[in-house]
Amino acid sequence: MPIHVMMKFAWDSYKRYAWGSNELRPVSMQGHSSNLFGSIKGATIVDALDTLYVMEMYEDFEMATEWVEKNLDFNVNAEVSVFEVNIRFVGGLLSAYYLSGKEVFRKKAIQLGEKLLPAFKTPTGIPWALLNLKSGIGRNWPWASGGSSILAEYGTLHLEFMHLSKLSGNPAFAEKVMNIRKVLNRLDKPQGLYPNYLNPNSGQWGQHHVSVGGLGDSFYEYLLKAWLMSDKTDEEGKKLYYDALQAIETSLMRKSSGGLTYIAEWKGGLLEHKMGHLTCFAGGMIALGADGAPEDKTGHQMEQAAEIARTCHESYARTTLKLGPEGFRFDGGVEAIATRQNEKYFILRPEVIETYMYMWRFTHDPKYREWGWEAVQALEKHCRVEGGYSGVRDVYASSPNHDDVQQSFYLAETLKYLFLLFSDDDHLPFEHWVFNTEAHPLPVIKKEMTDTDKPNQLE
């Protein structure tokens, strides 16, 4: 099954049953709206724009562009997740702009970025998680430790905001995200690790939970990518990334008795021997950073990345449906298997395929394409339903019980990374493009040529 045919089916189903809604319910064949986006509409359209473009589905891209022009509206009286709106909508609009050159995307990205700025009105400048786009009033998730903001949320704005400053000429966006770094730099890090919770009023850490999966993940990713996207001029981003990775290696990375490397979670000094599907993105991240690693660690980091890819593949291979669980454990006599009912679901997430894609690009070892192909077959067999693709509730069940949601990131990320895994390396080459955490490609901002770099005018 060629990947663009999968995309066509996912897109056509959304178009037919849920056009304009945020997401599709592929079993009940109707629209689905998550409150993460308030009353902003069309998440799937904006998230899918660049995938349509990259797969050369230009008619569909035009249709999506027209919808954005006529219908995408941020003047809504509703509370949104700053992080989700940034990675999916701002990121999606920016990459659609850079790929197509269409002005409407630049304009809409800046408009939305301006709407998000009031989220930074806190005593420390660490933004709120939730923001009412009309009133500009923000707050944090009620469940987050003592009113804290979340590392993976406030730490995953950097790439998009740097581009917003570049495209708008307004330095405010870049200043806001650089200030987040300043606040973090002033704080003590327990064993060099970054707790997931930070109070935006006091500037102090909340509970000492550390994770390279949910609540922490893309913060680390954006340190590395900030450096890469700056054409390797952001030395601070570089240092913060490699120092954090060293702390992760020392305190969280472990090998099971069966020889599987995993990244555990840390709760108040104790290790929880659990890895999330979300954590599996780390294989790709470590591979992407390996080339610039200090102290001759390139080979070592490539090995770590390959080992994580293998562990994550095992988490798929050890299920009945050959799709990965949301979380898997390395305790109580099991390895890479979910033991709790609420960790057995699969919601079309991309992280494992993302890691295969990076590993393929860096090694050309055919096993990564083989593993990607296994995932394609499982998606076709168990997730494809009459009205699109659906997640499943239990990957260990003998037949799939569908959750009836086609997540927008399935089109933005899972299908894009699959497509790139089976494409030549000159599709979106890493020298020129950096992927935001929702797989939206953003161009490297080339450094000004210095006098010595400049070609000799006389020659």
Q: Name the residue nearer to ligand DMJ (CB basis): 314 or 438.
A: 438
Q: How far is the CB of 329 from ligand DMJ (least distance, A)?
A: 19
Q: Name the residue nearer to ligand DMJ (CB basis): 124 or 215.
A: 215
Q: Name the residue nearer to ligand DMJ (CB basis): 124 or 395.
A: 395
Distance CA 164, CA 173 (A): 6
**Is 175 in contact with 145 (CB distance < 8 Å)?**
no
Distance CA 112, CA 316 (A): 38
Three-state DSSP state, 205: strand
Q: How far is the CB of 36 from ligand DMJ (least distance, A)?
A: 9
Catalytic residue among 326, 335, 351, 354: 326
Q: Name the residue nearer to ligand DMJ (CB basis): 311 or 437.
A: 437
Name the nearest CA neighbour of 434 among 163, 180, 113, 46.
163
Q: How far is the CB of 187 from ligand DMJ (least distance, A)?
A: 23
- E strand or H helix at 400: none
Three-state DSSP state, 28: coil
Three-state DSSP state, 44: helix
Name the nearest CA neighbour of 97 among 447, 443, 445.
443
Q: Name the residue nearer to ligand DMJ (CB basis): 43 or 210.
A: 43
Contacting residues for 80 by C-beta, under 8 A, at least 6 apart = 36, 37, 38, 40, 130, 131, 133
Contacting residues for 459 by C-beta, under 8 A, at least 6 apart = none
Greatest extent of the chain over all pairs of C-alpha atoms, in Å? 72
Q: How far is the CB of 101 from ligand DMJ (least distance, A)?
A: 26
Distance CA 251, CA 5 (A): 43
Q: Name the residue nearer to ligand DMJ (CB basis): 60 or 217.
A: 217
Q: Which residues pair with 275 in a beta bridge?
A: 328
Give burial (CB, 10 Å; 0-12/13-18/19+) of 272: middle
Q: How far is the CB of 324 from ligand DMJ (least distance, A)?
A: 11
Q: How far is the CB of 264 from ligand DMJ (least distance, A)?
A: 19
Distance CA 316, CA 323 (A): 5
The two structure tokens encoding residue 248 = 């992760």
Name the site residues for ligand DMJ (rule: CB under 6 A): 87, 218, 278, 349-350, 409, 413, 437-438
Q: How far is the CB of 277 from ligand DMJ (least distance, A)?
A: 7
For the chain, counts of helices (H) and of strands (E): 17, 18
Q: Name the residue nearer to ligand DMJ (CB basis): 264 or 352.
A: 352
Residue 326 appears among annotated catalytic residues? yes
Q: Name the residue nearer to ligand DMJ (CB basis): 124 or 313.
A: 313
Three-state DSSP state, 26: coil
Q: How far is the CB of 401 from ligand DMJ (least distance, A)?
A: 20
**Is 390 in contact with 402 (CB distance < 8 Å)?**
yes
The two structure tokens encoding residue 370 = 């083989």
- DSSP secondary structure string for all residues of 243-259: HHHHHHHHHTEEE-TTS
Q: Which amino acids are annotated catalytic? A: 326
